[in-house]
Structure formats: structure tokens, C-alpha cells
Structure 1
Amino acid sequence: MFTRILIPFDGSPSGAEAVRKGAALAVLCGAEVLILTVFHHHSLLEASLSAQRPGESGNVDDVMRDHAREVAEAGRALAHEAGVSGARAFVKGGQPARSIIAFAREHGVDLIVIGSRGLGSIESFLLGSVSHKVTGLADCPVLVV
């Protein structure tokens, strides 16, 4: 049925539920699981206005990328707990919906399992959620959890 399942994960409760559901489906289908965490690239202006956590050095993108790696690994661990031993975790920078769609195309994904509500800002309420955008742009089926 499905051979490669992409599960975008942002660390939210809805995202964790998507990982659990996607992993369960992968076990049933014998599908490969790819966990993707997308972080937002900051412009120079945003970077100059952003505060960093104490004790962290580097630019804002480096800090965001490091945090995204931790989130992606947490998603991979959730998939492992749900019975998927070979899940792989990836991190990409950019606009979330576009990055998810591009990643799915590049990796030949045949199903995307995504949480209905993530950690997005008020912007998502005005412009539409990431899950809504992904369902409209994807070339493959999308399961919104």
C-alpha cells in the first residue's frame, strides 16, 4: 500500500500523535518512515532582534538548526517506541509547508502524516495552517491527525 511515509514533526502534541499514527501505519504496511523537522531561517534583521538562550553562541540559524535536530531525534525516538526500528530523522530550513512538499517530492514519499495543529504562530490562524497548506500542495495523499 504505502512504501515511504513522511511525518513532519515540530515537537507539538499534535505532531507527536501524527508520529504515533504514522508509525503504526508504517508497521502495518512495512513502510519506511522519514521524520522531518523544519526550522525557520531568519533574515539579518530578525537575527539582530532575536534573543538567544544564555550560554549559547552562534547565529540564530545555528541555534534553530540545533534545536530542530533535537526535535527531529525526539520524533525518531517516538517512531521507534511505536515499533519502527529504522526511522530516519531529517532537518531542513525554510518555510514549513513548502519545505515539506519539496522534501516529499525529492524522497519519493507516497504518504504524508501530519498533525492538525502545531507550534505555529498567530500567522497560521490568518494565513492557514501548515497542515492545510500541505494538503493543498502535496502530490501524494496526506493524513491529517
Structure 2
Amino acid sequence: MFKRILVAVDGSKTSLKALDKAIELQKLTDAEIYIICVYKHHSLFEASLSIGRPQEMDIPDKVLSEYAKEVVNHAKELAKEHGATKLRGFVKGGRPSKVIVKFAQDKEADLIVVGTRGTHSDKDGMILGSVSHRVASHAKCPVLVV
């Protein structure tokens, strides 16, 4: 049924529920689970607008990348505790929905699992979070929104 399941996590409760579903599916299908955390890339212009002026202009991305690594590592540990095997973690920068969809295509994922709302929600998604809405709308494979 599924060989590769991509689950997007951001540390939110709903993303961890998505991880739980991916683990359940792995137990049924023996699929490999790819855990991805996407941080929003900040341009040099965006970084320059910060109230605090860091010495290095790329610090916002470094901090976000490190946080994303922590999120992925935490998700991998939780998954192992719940009996998951065949886990791979990834951290990417960019617009989350686009990165998730492209990553799924590049890795030939059979299924994408996302939470309904992440750590940030806005009016764009109305009922679904904007990221889950965009992923479901643009993915070439099935998307399970938890």
C-alpha cells in the first residue's frame, strides 16, 4: 500500500497527532517514515527589519534551522518510543507548503500526513490551516490531514 510516508512536523500538538497516524500506518504497511520540519526562510531584507541587529545577517535562519532540527529529533524519539522503525528526519527552509509538496515528489512519497493547524494559524486556511490546505491542494499523492 504505502512505501514512503512523509509526515510534516512543527512541534505543535496537531503535527504530533499526524506523526501518531503515520506510525499507525507504518505498522500496517511497513512503510518508511520521512519526518520533515520546514522553517520559513528569512531574506536578508526581513532579517534587517528585526528590532535587534545581529552581527551576522543570516542568524534568523540559523536559529530557525537549529530549532527545526530539535523538532525533528524530538519527533523521531517519540516515534521510536511508539514502536516506529525506518525513520528518516529532514530539515528544510522555505515556504512550508511548497517545500513539503516538492519534497514529497522528490522522495516519491506515497502519502503525506499533516496536522490541520500548525504552530501558526491564520485566516487564509479558514477551516484547515493554510499549510495543510495548500499541501492538500497541490500534492500529487494522497494527503491525510489529521
Shared fold, TM over 0.5: yes
Q: Which runs of 5+ in 1 are unaligned?
A: 53-57
Please give the residue correspondences for 1:13-92 in structure 2 after superposition, counting only pairs within 5 Å.
13-50=13-50, 59-92=59-92
Identity %: 47
The RMSD of aligned alpha carbons is: 2.1
Distance, in Å, in 2 between the alignment partners of 1:124 and 1:16 is 22
Alignment CA distance shift 1:44-1:133 (3 Å): same
Question: Do the aligned residues in 2 keep the contact of 1:15 with 1:115 (CA within 8 Å)?
Answer: yes
Question: Do the aligned residues in 1 keep the contact of 2:8 with 2:100 (CA within 8 Å)?
Answer: yes
Question: Do the aligned residues in 2 keep the contact of 1:68 with 1:91 (CA within 8 Å)?
Answer: yes
Distance, in Å, in 2 between the alignment partners of 1:125 and 1:101 is 17
Distance, in Å, in 1 between the alignment partners of 2:70 and 2:20 is 18
Distance, in Å, in 1 between the alignment partners of 2:142 and 2:66 is 30
Specify the SS of the correspondent of 1:36: strand
Using the TM superposition, give the Cα deviation of residue 74 of structure 1 relative to its aligned residue in structure 2, in angstroms: 1.1
Alignment CA distance shift 1:72-1:133 (3 Å): same
Distance, in Å, in 2 between the alignment partners of 1:87 and 1:61 is 25
**Per-residue deviation, residues 93-127 of structure 1 (Å, max 9, x unmatched):** 0000000001001101000111011012436457x
The match for 2:120 is: 120
Specify the SS of the correspondent of 1:83: coil
Distance, in Å, in 1 between the alignment partners of 2:100 and 2:62 is 20
Q: Which runs of 5+ in 2 are unaligned?
A: 53-57
